[in-house]
Amino acid sequence: MELLTTNNVWMMICTALVFFMHTGFAFLEVGLTRQKNTINILFKNIFIITVGLLLYCLVGFNLMYPGDFNGFLGFAGFGLDAEAALDLTYSEGYTYWTDFLFQGMFAATAATIVSGAVAERMKLGAFMIFTVIYVALIYPIAGSWHWGGGFLSELGFYDFAGSTLVHSVGGWAALVAVSLLGARKGKFDKNGKSLVILGHNIPLATAGVLILWLGWFGFNGGSVLSADPALTSLVLVTTCLAAAAGGIASFIFSNILYKNFDLTMFLNGVLGGLVGITAGADQMSPTDAILIGAIAGVLIVLAVALIDKLKLDDPVGAIAVHLACGIWGTLAVGIFGELAGWEQFSTQLIGVASYALICIVSSYLIFFTLKKTSGIRVSEKEELEGLDLHEHEMNAYADFRMNEH
């Protein structure tokens, strides 16, 4: 009972920290885009966390953790189970309520990743419909395959805190959405050369990354599912070292390639390191963690360049951070983890491929249907003048004079 109390305290704090990540995402996305779309991004962020929790309560939790099931799809019924909630032997690590809330905070994250990638040009209504379907159905069904005890956990696939189950699940949908949406006006010139569209509030973007790093204390630390002192503290150390190594590697590599001191790349390197360590944060030594983070940092620089080459327009770098480093982190478990080796590596590959399949297919279906019906992209005029004016009739900074551009 005393141990349950302590464990549960830790899990509740981790839940609060993961909740706080939504402030980090909001700051990051707002900061790296233009002021004329700020209200729209904030609106999406608030929508995601509120509707996400309600949907996870209504269907998500019981889709993701259906109990005994066929390994691909199960459902334990609508709403929460008040009887399970009374049973304090539900788990040694947390109560039923904590379990629901911690997992619920994760659920909304996947949609948030997409939010950043489609910023500045996607219709609000279409995005809200996507969010509802993805958070209510796709994220929890995909999650059940491993964390719910489904076929991938039977196979031995391992993803500690969600390099794949959360970050890639968001990242794949971001990739599909960005492909179907097309680039923002002015992102590529008529020769196809990528132009820089500057973010409008870099202090908020930087604070967003620091808040996300803080949130990762809970994201990874809580994924131990108890306050086990050796394991939770190891996880915090590997998480922080990977973040630090990711940032430094990104900064140095981009400095070598481009001879600059690029803050945005530094920040994305930190996030890449965090995403990269997430699949194996409980299995790595400090040296492993630094290596995994550093490789993620280098990968970010390459992925950003590649995505640009492919004429994909991802304003906040979400695909490089969450998809590329999510895949890398998942594979790294097969290289550095406890059961490292060809067998584990190929199982990790199977996992990555399975999630690619469900996420690409489902998000393509959703976005394609929306494109053919309501449309997914705002008008050229609306894009030019900003979504804040047209979708919200508001201005994020009413008192400040803006540059005309």
Q: Which stretch binds a second copy (CB under 8 A): 66-74, 361-369, 370-378, 387-395?
A: 387-395
Least distance between a second copy and beta carbon 187 (Å): 15
Least distance between a second copy and beta carbon 55 (Å): 9
Q: Does 266 bind a second copy (CB under 8 A)?
A: yes
In sequence order, the 6+-apart residues with CB closer than 8 A to the CB of 268 are 250, 300, 304, 317, 320, 321
Least distance between a second copy and beta carbon 126 (Å): 13
Q: Looking at 67, 186, 229, 341, which residue binds a second copy (CB under 8 A)? A: 229
Residue carrying the six token digits 């209200």: 39
Binding mask 123-162 for a second copy (x = CB under 8 A): -x--------------------------------------
Q: Does 252 bind a second copy (CB under 8 A)?
A: no
Binding positions for a second copy, 32-61, rule CB under 8 A: 34-36, 38-39, 42-43, 45-47, 49-54, 57
| H or E segment and range at residue 48 | helix 38-55
DSSP 137: I
**Residue 269, amino acid:** G
CA distance from start to end of the chain: 62
Binding positions for a second copy, 182-201, rule CB under 8 A: 198-201
Q: Looking at 132, 169, 241, 271, which residue binds a second copy (CB under 8 A)? A: 241
Q: Looking at 311, 371, 377, 392, which residue binds a second copy (CB under 8 A)? A: 392
Give the Cα separation of 323 and 329 in Å (integer).
10
Q: Which is nearer to a second copy, 18 or 152 (CB)?
A: 18
12-50 as b/e, with b when 16 or more CB fall inside 10 Å? bebbebbbbbbbbbbbbbbbbbbbbbbbbbbbbbebbbe
Q: Looking at 66, 148, 247, 351, which residue binds a second copy (CB under 8 A)? A: 247
Phi, psi of 107 (to 5 degrees): -55, -45
Question: CA-CA-CA-CA torsion for 25, 29, 31, 37, nearest 10 degrees?
Answer: -140
Binding mask 199-218 for a second copy (x = CB under 8 A): xxxxxx-xx-xxx-xx--x-
Q: Does 401 bind a second copy (CB under 8 A)?
A: yes
Contact yes or no for 276/328 (Cβ under 8 A): yes
In angstroms, the Cα distances linking 26 to 33, 172, 337 are 11, 20, 33
Residue carrying the six token digits 């391992």: 158
Q: Which stretch binds a second copy (CB under 8 A): 308-316, 317-325, 361-369, 395-403?
A: 395-403
- Residues shown for the chain: 405
Number of residues that bind a second copy (CB under 8 A): 112
Give the Cα separation of 242 and 310 in Å (integer).
28
| Among the listed residues 1, 21, 397, the one whose alpha carbon sits nearest the alpha carbon of residue 221 | 21
In sequence order, the 6+-apart residues with CB closer than 8 A to the CB of 386 are 34, 35, 36, 37
Binding mask 313-332 for a second copy (x = CB under 8 A): --------------------
Q: Looking at 63, 64, 94, 176, which residue binds a second copy (CB under 8 A)? A: 94
Q: Which stretch binds a second copy (CB under 8 A): 12-20, 177-185, 276-284, 357-365?
A: 12-20
Q: Which is nearer to a second copy, 12 or 275 (CB)?
A: 12
| Among the listed residues 90, 87, 80, the one whose alpha carbon sits nearest the alpha carbon of residue 60 | 80
Least distance between a second copy and beta carbon 401 (Å): 4
Least distance between a second copy and beta carbon 144 (Å): 21
Q: Which stretch binds a second copy (CB under 8 A): 79-87, 148-156, 180-188, 334-342?
A: 79-87
Q: Looking at 153, 194, 369, 395, which residue binds a second copy (CB under 8 A)? A: 395
Q: Which is nearer to a second copy, 308 or 391 (CB)?
A: 391
Contact yes or no for 76/137 (Cβ under 8 A): no
Contact yes or no for 384/185 (Cβ under 8 A): yes
Q: Does 118 bind a second copy (CB under 8 A)?
A: no
How many whole angstroms from its chain centre is CA 54?
19
190 dihedral zone (left: phi>0; alpha: psi -120 to 50; beta): alpha
Q: Does 15 bind a second copy (CB under 8 A)?
A: yes
Binding positions for a second copy, 345-374, rule CB under 8 A: none
Using CA of residue 23, residue 318, residue 359, residue 185, what is the dihedral sign? positive
Q: Does 224 bind a second copy (CB under 8 A)?
A: no
Least distance between a second copy and beta carbon 157 (Å): 26
Q: Does 306 bind a second copy (CB under 8 A)?
A: no
